[in-house]
Structure 1
Amino acid sequence: MPAGAAASGGGNRFCSSVAVHAFSDAQEWTGLQAWRTGSLNEFRSWGPEGPMKLSSLEMVRERNLDGKGASSLAEWGALVLGTPNPVDKAFLTHHAFRLWVDGSLPLGVSQAPDSPARPAKPELVHPRKVPQPKGTSLSPSAHALHNLAHIELNAIDLAWDTVVRFSTASRDLDDQFFADFAHVADDESRHCLWCLQRLSELGFSYGSMPAHNLLLRDCQKTTGSVTARLAVIPMMQEARGLDAGPRLVERLMGFGDARSASIAKHIAEEEVAHVAVGVSWFLSVCKQLGMNPASRFQDLMLESEVQLKGPFNYLARSTAGLPRDWYDSAYRKATVEAAAAVTTNKVAESTHNTEDGTSNVDASISNNSTTSCLPEVYKRLALVVAMENENAES
């Protein structure tokens, strides 16, 4: 029974949102259009002062790329997915996106493989079997950079898989959908190259330690649903990157590796756009299908058996458009409890008899809609409760 039901004498009929949370609305990132219309990012190497353009030797390598007959964006995406070498995968991605931006490619249609091609190493193991730094020959910084490089490599393929797999539904999805995810793939390819470069500078290479295959398993679970793909990949997986980014930067600085920390910081800042793309298209597709976005997101988390756990980077997630009560169950619970407590007090006050002996309960019910049960003051109270709970747990 919701808090306050007994005190009201009328069950939970006085405010349905005490029992059922009224979710906040997601908002589109204010920087989305600028990200979409910005010039092609050619800063694909990491210099002494940060991102810089490719060297002459690397540019020659890029000019020698073989499209192997690919004549559309979807076909180029399939080509990237079928390329095992991480560096080749990154260069092909950038070349394909440049052709798309130049207007040289139609969208086209292609088929995505069951799994993207991978090099012989690293060995893919269960996440719990990925060794800690002490269990490898890598330095702590190299260990962290290897994990990050693996995530960025997977992110390239996840974005291309979205382009290629759903190219058959192009009549129902705007071309901008595919442009956005090709753009995400291009960003991820740049991030991957930065990590691979830094690993090499530290004396190691990708494949020097085992890695997990969790990201691709989530990708395979969402092959038949656009909303599931958007919720699980950009809105869940990439959002976790927003949470982990600042902690990784602090760790690398703690190792005395400011150069690696700068790379991780730059990557984390750019990931906001990728979460925002997922939020924007999730809202758009849900509207097209007549679905409530918040309810659909909650259903997909249950179907995927996903339990989102903090700590969360609330500011970055909010910037990307994700409402806190969509993903933070502790905050959501505190919001409901705060609303119930305030409503209980209001109902208790209204049960005092008026001068003519009648009750004000019914009048109070009729004057309070479901949406008015959760004004901003309740959410602020819930935030305080949630913060106290977090402090108590830490």
Structure 2
Amino acid sequence: MTVQTTGQTDAKTLAEMAVEVLTCAKGREKTELSHAHAARWRASREAGNTIEVGTASPPLRPGRPERPELLDPREVPQRKPGTPEGRIAILHAIAHIELNAVDLHWDIIARFSHVPFPLGFFDDWVKSADEESKHFNLMCDRLEAMGSYYGALPAHAGMWQAAEDTAGDIMGRLAVVPMVLEARGLDVTPGMIRLFEQAKDRETVDALKVIYAEEVAHVAYGAKWFNFLCGRDGLDPKEEFHTLVRRYFHSGTKPPFNEEKRAEAGMPPDFYWPLSDALPPAWSR
């Protein structure tokens, strides 16, 4: 059953709350608002008086602070990761990713609130947005402890492109954002953890481990709801995933893959290896 409302009309709808987060421009304020709205949604669910999902008109692009300066990915300066400056650059890049993730998760709520989903769909993405808000603040705290701040360095300008490309396609959004972009985070985070362990930066290691553990669930939510839609529409999930990734994500999936964590998130190897240019020997037989 896909009931989305319970008759509560005296408060903002969930979709309207999502748009409030999306239009907020300042990072810390955006995440504070995200936490507050997530808490309101969670409280309404626990009380059995669920806030109406509703509908809204999200902006094509979310509000953003004046800094960081956004550059083409090829123009973002590369810094040696083994140096203090390089480690700051890594944390800055992660903070930028996490802020985009806050908006991506609220955007999927606002932009696709008209799609008939069980309320569990909205539970999952509100929880994800709440956790991404925590992740952004963890990275900002570490940057500030190291004498820097979010906005001090240039950042990747292409982070929001996947959202724009899939603005009219819920299955494309699920395929590209959680099942490709966030899954990539599962691949690269262990290496970043090792880097900060070598630097004996225990606080950053602890923060990255929190992010790593929680991102598995975000990928899993994408796989769960992608499979839900495929089942409802009688589609083969693997074939549909390949079609949509080739349509919307032109960079390809690149190994090495964290096959253990991807499997934990509900993504078997035959989803992502065939999209790679570097197939392992078993796939060529």
Superposed pair shares fold, TM > 0.5: yes
1:155 aligns with 2:101: yes
Q: Does 1:206 align with 2:147?
A: no
Q: 1:178 aligns with which of 122, 128, 132?
A: 122
Mapped partners of 1:306, 1:120: distance in 2 = 28
Which of residues 215, 220, 241 is equivalent to 1:297? Answer: 241
**Rounded Cα–Cα distance in structure 1 between residues aligned with 2:219 and 2:38:** 19
State percent identity of aligned pairs.
37
Aligned to 2:26: 85
Aligned counterpart, 1:123: 69
Normalized against structure 1, the TM-score is what? 0.65
Tell me if the contact between 1:141 and 1:260 (Cα under 8 Å) persists in the aligned partners. no
The amino acid that maps onto 1:277 is Y
Alignment: residue pair count: 267
Q: Which amino acid aligns with 1:311?
A: P
Structure 2 match to 1:229: 173
AA matched with 1:323: P
Amino acid in structure 2 at the alignment position of 1:241 = G
Aligned counterpart for 1:165 among listed residues 64, 87, 111: 111
Relative to structure 1, is the Cα distance of residues 334 and 138 closer, same or farther in structure 2, using a 3 angstrom cutoff? Answer: closer
Partner amino acid, structure 2, of 1:314: E
Letter matched to residue 302 of structure 1: R
Q: After the TM superposition, which of the residue ranges 304-313 and 120-129 deviates more from structure 2?
A: 304-313
Q: Which has the larger radius of gyration?
A: 1
Q: Distance in 1 between matches of 2:140 and 2:280?
A: 42
Q: Given the superposition, is the C-alpha separation of residues 143 and 306 from structure 1 closer, same or farther in structure 2, using an over 3 Å criterion?
A: closer
Deviation, structure 1 residue 213: 2.3
Q: Which among 168, 186, 201 is matched to residue 242 of structure 1?
A: 186
Shift of residue 258, structure 1, vs aligned partner: 2.2
1:327 aligns with 2:272: yes
Residue 131 of structure 2: which of 169, 184, 187 is its match? 187
Tell me the secondary structure at the aligned position of residue 107 of structure 1.
Answer: coil
Contact 1:112 1:161 (8 Å CA) reproduced: yes
Residue in 2 that maps onto 1:254: 198
| Farther-moved stretch of structure 1 (105-114 vs 224-233) | 105-114
Paired residues for 1:1-394 under 5 Å: 71-103=12-44, 105-133=51-79, 139-169=85-115, 172-304=116-248, 305-329=250-274, 334-338=281-285
Distance in 2, Cα, partners of 1:72 & 1:226: 20
- SS of the counterpart of 1:120? coil
Q: Secondary structure at the match of 1:167?
A: coil
Aligned-partner Cα distance in 2 for 1:334–1:283: 28
**CA–CA distance in structure 1, aligned partners of residues 184 and 174 of structure 2:** 14
Q: What is the distance in 1 between the residues matched to 2:160 and 2:146?
A: 28
Residues 141 and 257, structure 1, Cα contact 8 Å, conserved in 2: no
| Code of the aligned partner of 2:75 | K
Q: For structure 1, which segment, 203-212 or 324-333, has the greater mean C-alpha deviation from structure 2 after superposition?
A: 324-333
Equivalent-residue separation in structure 2 for 1:84 and 1:138 (angstroms) = 29
Q: 1:139 to 1:76 in 2, by over 3 A?
A: same
**Cα contact 1:165–1:223 (8 A) shared by 2:** yes
- CA deviation after TM superposition for structure 1 residue 337, in Å: 4.0
What's the CA shift for 1:140?
2.5
> 1:255: how far off?
2.6
* Aligned mates of 2:188, 2:11 — CA distance in 1: 37
8 Å Cα contact 2:11-2:51 kept in structure 1: no
**1:86 maps to amino acid:** G
Q: CA deviation at 1:107?
A: 1.1
Q: Which has the higher contact order (CA 8 A, sep 6+)?
A: 1
CA contact (8 A) 2:238 2:270 kept: no
Tell me how far 1:168 sits from its aligned partner: 2.3
